[in-house]
Every structure is written in structure tokens, then in C-alpha cells.
Amino acid sequence: MILDYKTIDLFGKMIFETIVLKPPFKKPNPMPNAACFLYIMKGEYESVSEVEKVKIEAEESLLMKCGNYTSRMLPSKSSETYQALAVHFYPEVLLKIYENKLPDFLKVKNNSDLRMTKLNSDALIHKYIEDILFYFNNPNLFNEEILILKLKEIILLLNQTQNAPAIRQVLSNLFNPNSYSFREIIEAHYYSNTTLDELAQLNNQSLSTFKREFKKLYSVSPASYLRDKKLERSIELLTSTDLRATDIAYECGFANVSHFSKTFKQKYGVSPSNYKMTHLGNSLN
């Protein structure tokens, strides 16, 4: 449930955005022609792209280049409320504020596939967030010139943080989308808890179209195929590691250990713990 939501526009585009909500909450987050810097004040945030998944906590931030994402807003141990601030970047807005003379680090292209990069706490970034929140609380004090300065400021700050090398890889390809095939997106999420709805969104398809495409390629339904992939991975971990069932459930992308145990027993006729004990017994013999 959304408790508070505010935005600030520049040149007809939403540049700054702040939200407070009661998690859990999730939504598709397509950004075909934009990029985003997201700072978490309360709660946790999980961003899933075509081939990556990144989770950040309070006082951490995330830089995402243009692409296709799904977003999950979550509670944390210290807060049942989720609060975040986002800064959005659009190529036409950046060209306008820099008067068609972009800084060099925004023009140098590289072949990096890095789509997202996580930033740890940084005093300069934290102070910047406080400044933007001040303007949200005092809208009569900001104008177009201030917004332009604040947008330029965050770009410069990102380029100077301790994560600068990774950030430059994202910034230099801010508006160059990566292209991934259907199979690449599926394979990247074998062992994540990404839902079929989310996989369809990451492929820019409706759920029904996604299911048809999947069955055409793999000759089986996506639910069955992905379940079996997770179970195959769980067998590997049960027989080669000392991980607990709870950890294996997480590593293989099951929603929880109860779901993992039930699915495993339906497939193999025994619980994960009994399977592990049997395997160890056979190995000793």
C-alpha cells in the first residue's frame, strides 16, 4: 500500500521521485529510454533485470542503465516501512542541460554487459539525498536552475564515489541497451525466485505469449522445466555440500524451505534431508 508519493519534473520529464509504502510490493519497471539512480532510506529493494538480480538495503543505492526490470520492495529487520528516492536520467534532458556537450565519461563507450551496480553508503550521496528531500518538503524553494544543478551534481558525485570504476561502466553505456535472447533470459533465472509473470515482463511479452514461446523452444511448460532445473541443482548441493535445507532452498530459487521440501518429495519420494542421509550412507559403504 502506497502511503506517500511525490515527483518533481524537469522539461516535462519526471526527474526526482520519492515514495513511502507498506511492503511487500512489486511491479514491472521497464526503462527502455531512461536510466535511474535509486537510494533506499527504509526497507529493502530487489531489482531483477534480464540477466541479473541485485538486492540493496537501507542507506545503499543502485544505478541502473536503460533496460527491462522488475522491482520488489521489501520490509527489513529494522523497518516495516519502505522509503526510497529515485533520480531519473533521460538522454534528451542530459543533452539539454549540458547544451549538447556531454562530459567525457558519459561519451566513452565500452563493451561491458554491466546493467546495474550497487553503491555502499557514502557521505556525499547521503548529503545529496537530504538536499533533495528538503526540496520535496519545500517545493516553493526550487526552480529550473536548481533542478539542473542538482541533476548535474548527482552525475558528478557518482563518478567520484568509491564504486567509480563500475559506475563509469554503467554511465558510459547509460542509454545503450543490451540485447538478450529468450534463452539467455531464461537461463539467467534458473535458480532465482523469479515468477513466470516476471519472466514474461523481462521478455516484453504477455504471460500467454511467453508460455507459448517457452513450450515451442523447450517442449515443456515453463513451470515444469524451471522446477526440474531447481531440483537438479538441489541434488548437486545436497550431495556435495554441507548446506542446510533452508540455504539450499534459497540457492535454488525456491520461495521457502517448505515449498522446496514439498516439491522435492513429490519428485523423488523422500525429503531432502533423507535423500542427503541416504547418499552419505552409500558413499561410506
Q: Write the CATH number for 156.
A: 2.60.120.810
Strand ordering across the sheet containing 35-42: 2-10, 13-21, 82-89, 35-42, 61-64, 116-119
Q: Please report, for residues 17, 124, 136, 151, 249, the alpha-carbon distance to residue 154 in angstroms, rounded to integers and kept in the order given.
A: 14, 9, 16, 6, 39
233 — alpha (psi -120 to 50), left (phi > 0) or beta? alpha
**Residue range 110-133: average pLDDT?**
83
CA dist 130 and 238 (Å) reads 47
Same domain, 59 and 133: yes
CATH of the domain at 278: 1.10.10.60
Same domain, 212 and 108: no
pLDDT in tens, 193-250: 889 999 998 988 899 999 999 999 999 999 999 999 999 999 999 988 888 889 999 9
Same domain, 24 and 110: yes
**Residue range 146-152: average pLDDT?**
95
Same domain, 153 and 222: no
pLDDT of residue 94: 87
Same domain, 38 and 90: yes
Local structure of 135: helix, strand or coil: helix
**Residue range 59-79: average pLDDT?**
91
Choose one of 124, 143, 172: the last residue of a domain: 172
pLDDT of residue 107: 64
pLDDT of residue 281: 46
Same domain, 156 and 38: yes
pLDDT of residue 106: 67
Which domain range does residue 114 map to? 2-172
The answer to whether the peptide bond before residue 23 is cis (omega within 30 degrees of 0) is no
pLDDT of residue 110: 62
Percentage of the chain exceeding pLDDT 70? 90
Choose one of 172, 201, 235: the last residue of a domain: 172
Same domain, 77 and 210: no
Q: Are 85 and 41 in contact (CB under 8 A)?
A: yes
Same domain, 205 and 162: no
Q: Are 220 and 212 in contact (CB under 8 A)?
A: no
Choose one of 132, 148, 172: the last residue of a domain: 172
**Residue range 84-99: average pLDDT?**
90
Q: If you search the block for the grid coordinates 535458480, which residue do you land on?
A: 191
